[in-house]
Amino acid sequence: MSLRDDANGCYPPTEAMLDEPVDEQWQDNSKRRLRDVWKTPAGWRYWSAVNNSEVGKWYCLTAFFFMMCAGVLALAIRVQLAVPENDFLSAGRFNQFFTMHGSAMMFLFAVPLFEAISILILPGMLGARDMPFPRLSAFGFWCFVIGGVFVLGSVLFDAAPDSGWFMYPPLAIESEGIGSDIWLLGLSFIEIASIAAAVELIVGVLKCRPPGMRINLMPLYAWYVLVVGGMILFAFPPLIAGDLLFELQRSFDWPFFDPDRGGDPMLWQHLFWIFGHPEVYIIFLPSIAIAAMVVPTVARRPIVGYSWIVLSAVGTGFLSFGLWVHHMFTTGLPALSLGFFSAASEAVVIPTGIQLFAFVATLMVGRVTLNVPMLFIAGALAIFTAGGLTGVMLALAPFNWQVHDTYFIVAHLHYTLFGGMIFPVLAGIYYFYPVFTKKVLSPRLGKWSFWLLFTGFNITFLPMHLTGLLGMPRRVYTYQTGLGWDWLNLISTVGSFILAAGFLLFAWDLLRPKSREPDTARNPWNAGTLEWTHDVPEEAWGIRSIPYIRSRYPLWDQEKLVERIDAGRFYLADAAEGKRETLVTSVLDAKPIQCMRVTGPAWITLIAALFTGGAFIFPTFHIYTPAVICAVFAGACILYWLWTSTAPIPEQDRKPVGLGLSLPIYASGPESAGWWGVWITMLGDATAFISLVFGFFFYWTTKTDFPPVGSEHANLLFMLLGGAVLLGAWALTLYARDSNTKGHVARARKALVLGIIASFTGMALVIWSVRSTGMDPQAHVYPAIIHALLLWLTAHVAVGVIMQGYCLAGSLFGKLTPRYDADLQNICLFWHFLGFTIVVCVLVMGIFPRWL
Amino acid sequence: MTTKPSSTHKLLTAALVLPLSGCDGLQSVLQPAGKEAAEIATLFHVLLVGAVVLWILVNGIFFYVTRLNPRPLSRRAAETLIIGGGILFPTIVLGILLAWSMSLMSSQRELGNAPVSVSVTGEQWWWRVQYRREDGSLLASANELRLPAGERTEVTLTSNKVIHSFWVPALAGKMDMFPGRVTRLALQPETTGTYRGQCAEFCGTSHALMAFQVVVMEPNDFERWLDDQAAPAKEPEEALALEGRQVFLREGCGACNTVRGTPAAGTTGPDLTHVGGRTTLGAGILPTTPDAFTRWIQHTESIKPDVYMPSYEHLEQSVLEALGHYLKGLS
């Protein structure tokens, strides 16, 4: 490739260019400027930080804190079950405790911790200065804190959910008090924050890699982030759709799960497990990803079977969506579907096995150095293989019929989660700790806590296999003596305290002050990936200059890389305009395409999270007015934040970023990170919508009387008319974009005004077509699901209108011009999805029921 | 026709269980007393041996390459490991296991020409039982299931209010019970005796206290027992029992419970016509002694939290004793 074949200047850099010395004076000056720009706010302003190193740290510690809380609940459970007919906990409290133990471990620890760790280390691995949307990370974190404290705090007031973490209706619907509402609303709130983080992580991997790091050169961790982010995107929305239906029944008595009015509790089980099983792999894969970083370092050579691992990770991700029915083997489904899901559940062994054997193979060809991270990886393997082998047993339906919902399952799931998550994460913490602190955790305490955890874990959970085989069901607050369970339970309880001691020792090692200990080298394990060039805590800029990458292990393979990075030889070594900047590159081959300005410290994210929290928390107590007010304020905060800090018009069109390369500062459409953010978010949104539509067809296929004979339907004429007008609003939005691009600004504005009018008119017609009939959502599930779709459509059209208004205002106040049109490009993408939603809604609400 | 569990798996069971406890295995998957459970126990033992061997192999390789012999091996050997251990071996083993389990799956749930048919309804927190007799009539009972050995029984399952799960580990795998939906299970008990079943789907506060007994009888005994059950309640003979019946009717117990042959005809609670002859009280949690009846009626809500039946703490001890005596007499 010639040096001048790109409009942006020289790329890629030649060896000669990289060899050129950097002016010392300039090095000092640029360093100072860069340091100023990336400075972490001090004092109480510290909490307005949005940089990934701070937010990631808070996020990790918060998730760890929630884990310890959920662990205390587990200890209480173990004390209650230590002896038969114990009365340490009442039945009601025990049920709250086991529900919260599971819910908190899943929603407040396992998934958020993946996102937390990724926010913390991913930019480092990719040589990026920060995540692409730092304020979104901060917003997600604050939502997580508020939601987590609310949900977990309910335990202290004897008001926690008590129907199990799976919340099966009708039990959870009939449950008195606000427990179920806390679960549904509190956790939905956190799930939305999780999706936001997933969107950001995916965009980070796709668009914020260093120049030259083609997609097949990126660290395996980034691949796993991509896979897991994608899984979150498709797994959480069905649950959110389920939560919506559930809460509509709890609050307004729309009978989605009530068999007396045509509903079906099985719909929830399907939606829950379509989420619930991928969730297991959402937890497991990131930890494998950590192992994939630790193993090559320990073996001192590149991973064996990189492509195998990537394919297996993607394969596991896909397969995990086809396994959910193995949680429902005892619900009396037809043998054919049991057979299919049984085979699919076994099939997932293969990609999992490939990944594990690839690690073993890497260790085989390398020269292994044993250290504390490796000890935890070894423990993880021992535990996980046991959990995996019982998983093979459980995927066989007949065996599953016996041990489903017994302590055998409790043992199995803890083996997979400890082996597949806790131990690798601990390995990761020991491994990555020096990246952020320049200290190592104590190897002596590390070994102690490892052996306490390992023996404690096995003493607790190994006997549970037998307890389950001897017939002890899960979720029982007490048991009778004489069934052979007594002393097995006692052993488990003893083991759980040893396990807890291991965690306490680890926590002490993690949090104890270490300022007196000498700093370690920047790369104490002699690893090969970019995060080890970090110079934290001294420097908050992430990386001194963003390097050009040609290898999977650049620190091993690229000579003088660190010196050149430190000298500012590479890209973006300066912050001449005093703005935080990072590079945006192309998705596949990582060619630099934009110098993106990212946002700095702000309080607006915290304020927006508080109001969003209010909008979710007030309805728990059936207080709706303050909830609506909070929702409006939350929306206003988010608009303010978007208006003031996203896609600002730069003071110059492009700037030199080093090594003879000059890049545009502004990008719109598919070149920009924002467009990818919208696109990925909308995939998740569409998944939730499809889950609702799935509900409709689920009732249709499983119920003989859906819709009931002689039931009223939506008015067809108004429905079609409304749909057509709404599609007109879509067309007008697209027309506005095209006119704006061509420079016809006045025409674009007119189209947007007409678009807003069309949105209102069309939506009014659709609402009228349903509401003018006698369809009563409380009477039967048919009108209820139609109303749920109507609600969904209305909310989305409302967002569409706000977007049209936002762009209109942008055009009027000079934020949106024919050249700087990212907002208009992005809302068109939203409207494409909305167009799809409109068409499906009209078909399902208006036309399809008449055919049946 | 009785298929005895194979001697190997008896041995394995003994090796696993006996040194660990002197348990009676009333509710154990490992001590099967029915065809379905025996087949699954055999499957499990094969799986267990395979799992132990594989666990040792995988962790052994890992230990070998990291500790015992940590010297670099060829890349080729490493790739063989990935392909052989990760793809070929599991594909073959899993294929065989799936074929086996699928053949079990269809035979296990086959009803055949089940001569016995029982319907069980899950309640919070007890079991409503109805035997379908040859003449098509239904015979109500509760919290206990009697089955003839060696014959196939169809169990029709449903639920009132919330989801439960019907599970007798010694006889077969479990099946969930849904409100508004009917599920089915086939049982074929082989060995006479008493076994314990328990609800396996979390169903609310007292989920832990929802058990029942299954008594497997010789077919002739079963037929005789069924005829006895069809008869109305025994007339009390002693004065105490007669007083108990008066109390029962006076206190309105009949609004919820049926005692055939008396005005008590409620159906919210269990049928008590022959409650004294059952092995347990309160859905598998108390023995059926007069004392236990008395205690149960007096402290229902503390024995079984959130149960619908109120405690009768206000009744005098002597009155409660009469009641207990009467109920025990309903054999």
pLDDT, one tens digit per residue, over B287-302 is: 999 999 999 999 999 9
Mean pLDDT, rounded, for B45-63 = 94
For chain B, say whether A16 makes contact (Cβ under 8 Å). no
Inform me whether the pLDDT recorded for A780 exceeds 70.
Answer: yes
The minimal CB distance from B104 to the residues A370, A382, A398 is found for A398
Q: Report percent pLDDT > 70 for chain A.
A: 99
For chain A, say whether B199 makes contact (Cβ under 8 Å). yes
What is the per-residue pLDDT for B17?
42
CB < 8 Å from B in window 71-100 of A = 90-92, 95
What is the per-residue pLDDT for B24?
62
- Cβ-contact B140, B271 below 8 angstroms: yes
- The pTM (predicted TM-score) of the whole model is 0.94
Neighbours of B119 (CB within 10 A): 17
Residue A161 to residues A92, A154, A206, A280, A405, Cα–Cα distance (Å): 10, 8, 39, 22, 19
Record: contact A361-B169, CB cut-off 8 A: no
Inform me whether the pLDDT recorded for A296 exceeds 50.
Answer: yes
Inform me whether the pLDDT recorded for B13 exceeds 60.
Answer: no
Instruction: For chain A, give the mean pLDDT.
Output: 94
Paired tokens of A174: 């009939």
The span from the CA of A168 to the CA of A164, in Å, is 8
The three-state secondary structure class of A54 is: helix
CB < 8 Å from A in window 66-105 of B = 66-67, 70-75, 77-79, 81-82, 85-87, 90-91, 94, 97-98, 100-102, 104-105
The span from the CA of B40 to the CA of A402, in Å, is 8
Max distance between CA atoms of chain A, in angstroms, equals 85
pLDDT per residue over A298-312, tens digit each?
Answer: 998 999 999 999 999
Domain residue ranges of chain B, discontinuous segments joined by +? 25-71+109-224, 239-329
pLDDT per residue over A604-663, tens digit each?
Answer: 999 999 999 999 999 999 899 999 999 999 999 999 999 998 888 999 999 999 999 999
**Chain B residue with Cα closest to A469:** B29
The span from the CA of A296 to the CA of A679, in Å, is 35
CB < 8 Å from B in window 393-452 of A = 393, 396-406
Q: In the block, which residue shows the tokens 């302590």?
A: A407
Instruction: Give the torsion sign (CA, A212, A217, A222, A223).
Output: positive
Inform me whether the pLDDT recorded for B10 exceeds 70.
Answer: no
Q: Which residues of A touch B71 (CB under 8 A)?
A: 367
- Cβ-contact A308, A534 below 8 angstroms: no
Inform me whether the pLDDT recorded for A782 exceeds 80.
Answer: yes
Neighbours of A532 (CB within 10 A): 22
- Cβ-contact B47, A392 below 8 angstroms: yes
**Chain A residue with Cα closest to B94:** A346
Mean pLDDT, rounded, for A768-775 = 93
What is the per-residue pLDDT for A9?
83
The span from the CA of B73 to the CA of B64, in Å, is 12
The minimal CB distance from A386 to the residues B55, B63, B162 is found for B55
Tell which of A478, A494, A511 closes a domain. Answer: A511
* Sheet bearing B211-217, strands edge to edge: B144-148, B211-217, B193-198
pLDDT per residue over B87-108, tens digit each?
Answer: 999 999 999 999 999 999 888 8
What is the per-residue pLDDT for A6?
57
pLDDT per residue over A415-460, tens digit each?
Answer: 999 999 999 999 999 999 999 888 999 999 999 999 999 999 999 9
Same fold, B25-71+109-224 and B239-329: yes
For chain B, say whether A778 makes contact (Cβ under 8 Å). no
| Number of domains comprising chain A | 2
Record: contact B23-A356, CB cut-off 8 A: no
The span from the CA of A376 to the CA of A364, in Å, is 18
Q: Report percent pLDDT > 90 for chain A.
A: 88
Query: Regarding the domain delimited by B239-329, which CATH topology (the fold level of the hierarchy) does it fall under?
Result: Immunoglobulin-like (2.60.40)
Record: contact B44-A469, CB cut-off 8 A: yes
Pairing verdict, β B126-132 and B116-123: antiparallel
Residue A19, domain member (yes or no): no
Out of A526-530, A703-707, A808-812, pick the least confident.
A703-707
What is the per-residue pLDDT for A537?
77
What is the per-residue pLDDT for A739?
96
Inform me whether the pLDDT recorded for A553 exceeds 80.
Answer: yes
**Chain A residue with Cα closest to B97:** A396
What is the per-residue pLDDT for A403?
97
Query: SS3 string of chain B?
Result: CCCCCCHHHHHHHHHHHCCCCCCCCCCCCCCCCEHHHHHHHHHHHHHHHHHHHHHHHHHHHHHHHHHHCCCCCCHHHHHHHHHHHHHHHHHHHHHHHHHHHHHHHHHHCCCCCCCEEEEEEEECCEEEEEEECCCCCEEEEECEEEEECCCCEEEEEEECCCCEEECCCCCCCCEEECECCCEEEEECECCCEEEEEECCCCCCCCHHHCEEEEEEECHHHHHHHHHHHHCCCCCCCCHHHHHHHHHHHHCCHHHCCECCCCCCECCCCCCCCCHHHCCEECCCCEECCHHHHHHHHHHHHHHCCCCCCCCCCCCCHHHHHHHHHHHHHCC
Which residues are registered as beta bridge partners of B280?
B287
- Cβ-contact A557, A582 below 8 angstroms: no
Shortest alpha-carbon distance between residue A518 and chain B (Å): 30
**Chain A residue with Cα closest to B69:** A364
The span from the CA of A733 to the CA of A826, in Å, is 11
Residue B313 to residues A376, A423, B306, Cα–Cα distance (Å): 57, 53, 16
Instruction: Give the torsion sign (CA, B228, B229, B232, B235).
Output: positive
The span from the CA of B113 to the CA of B104, in Å, is 18
Which residues are registered as beta bridge partners of B120?
B129, B157
Compute chain A's Rg from CA coordinates. Answer: 28
| CATH number of the domain enclosing A751 | 1.20.120.80
Q: Which amino acid is at A603?
A: W
Quick one: which of A164, A184, A387 has its CA closest to A283? Answer: A387
Tell which of A443, A477, A511 closes a domain. Answer: A511
For B282: left if phi > 0, alpha if psi spans -120 to 50, otherwise beta; the answer is left
Residue A360 to residues A94, A302, A368, Cα–Cα distance (Å): 42, 13, 11
The three-state secondary structure class of A625 is: helix
Shortest alpha-carbon distance between residue A551 and chain B (Å): 20
pLDDT per residue over A229-280, tens digit each?
Answer: 999 999 999 999 999 999 999 999 999 999 999 999 999 999 999 999 999 9
pLDDT per residue over A476-517, tens digit each?
Answer: 999 999 999 999 999 999 999 999 999 999 999 999 998 888
Mean pLDDT, rounded, for A182-204 = 92
| CATH number of the domain enclosing A268 | 1.20.210.10
Q: Which residues of B touch A362 (CB under 8 A)?
A: 78
The span from the CA of A28 to the CA of A23, in Å, is 9
Shortest alpha-carbon distance between residue A538 and chain B (Å): 36
Query: What phi and psi, each to the nearest 5 degrees, are found at residue A650?
Result: -75, 160
Quick one: which of A553, A501, A505 has its CA closest to A529? Answer: A553
What is the per-residue pLDDT for A534?
86
Inform me whether the pLDDT recorded for A183 exceeds 90.
Answer: yes
If you write DSSP's letter for every residue of A171-239 in order, what string do you get?
Answer: HHHH--SSHHHIIIIIHHHHHHHHHHHHHHHHHHHHH-PPTT--GGGS-HHHHHHHHHHHHHHHHHHHH
Inform me whether the pLDDT recorded for B156 exceeds 80.
Answer: yes
Quick one: which of B152, B155, B150 has its CA closest to B167? Answer: B155
For chain A, say whether B19 makes contact (Cβ under 8 Å). no
Q: Domain range holding A783?
A: 669-851
Quick one: which of A264, A203, A265, A277 has its CA closest to A238? Answer: A277
Number of inter-chain CB pairs under 8 A, A vs B: 273
CB < 8 Å from B in window 307-346 of A = 308, 312, 330-332, 335, 338-339, 342-343, 346
B66 or A554, which is more confident: A554
- Cβ-contact A182, A150 below 8 angstroms: yes
Quick one: which of A527, A111, A56 has its CA closest to A286? Answer: A111
Q: Which residues of A touch B78 (CB under 8 A)?
A: 304-305, 361-362, 364-365
Mean pLDDT, rounded, for A713-720 = 95
Tell which of A511, A539, A563 closes a domain. Answer: A511
Inform me whether the pLDDT recorded for A42 exceeds 60.
Answer: yes
What is the per-residue pLDDT for B71?
73
Instruction: For chain B, give the mean pLDDT.
Output: 89
Split at pLDDT 50, 70, 90, the class of A206 is very high
For chain A, say whether B310 makes contact (Cβ under 8 Å). no
Neighbours of A24 (CB within 10 A): 9
Split at pLDDT 50, 70, 90, the class of A704 is confident
Paired tokens of B256: 């919820």
What is the per-residue pLDDT for A100?
97
Paired tokens of A615: 């909008």
All residues at 6 or more sequence positions from A287 whose CB lies less than 8 Å from its CB, including other chains: A380, A420, A421, A423, A424, A425, A428
Record: contact B305-A90, CB cut-off 8 A: yes
For chain B, say whether A349 makes contact (Cβ under 8 Å). yes
For chain B, say whether A357 makes contact (Cβ under 8 Å). yes
Split at pLDDT 50, 70, 90, the class of A5 is very low
Query: Regarding the domain delimited by B25-71+109-224, which CATH topology (the fold level of the hierarchy) does it fall under?
Result: Immunoglobulin-like (2.60.40)
Split at pLDDT 50, 70, 90, the class of B69 is confident
What is the per-residue pLDDT for A370?
82
Record: contact A264-B176, CB cut-off 8 A: no
Paired tokens of A62: 């918060």
The span from the CA of A350 to the CA of A392, in Å, is 11
The span from the CA of A77 to the CA of A89, in Å, is 8
Split at pLDDT 50, 70, 90, the class of B6 is very low
With vertex at residue A409, the alpha carbon angle to CA A96 and CA A330, rounded to the nearest 5 degrees, is 95
pLDDT per residue over A146-157, tens digit each?
Answer: 999 999 999 999
The complex's ipTM? 0.93
To probe the interface with A, which of B52, B201, B213 has the most A CB atoms within 10 Å?
A: B201
The three-state secondary structure class of A718 is: helix
Split at pLDDT 50, 70, 90, the class of A775 is very high
What is the per-residue pLDDT for A726?
98
Quick one: which of A181, A391, A140, A369 has its CA closest to A284? Answer: A391
All residues at 6 or more sequence positions from A647 whose CB lies less than 8 Å from its CB, including other chains: A666, A668, A672, A674, A820, A822, A823
Quick one: which of A800, A814, A804 has its CA closest to A751? Answer: A804
The minimal CB distance from B163 to the residues A265, A358, A398 is found for A265
The minimal CB distance from A363 to the residues B66, B77, B285 is found for B66
Record: contact B102-A482, CB cut-off 8 A: no
Quick one: which of A530, A590, A603 has its CA closest to A562? Answer: A530
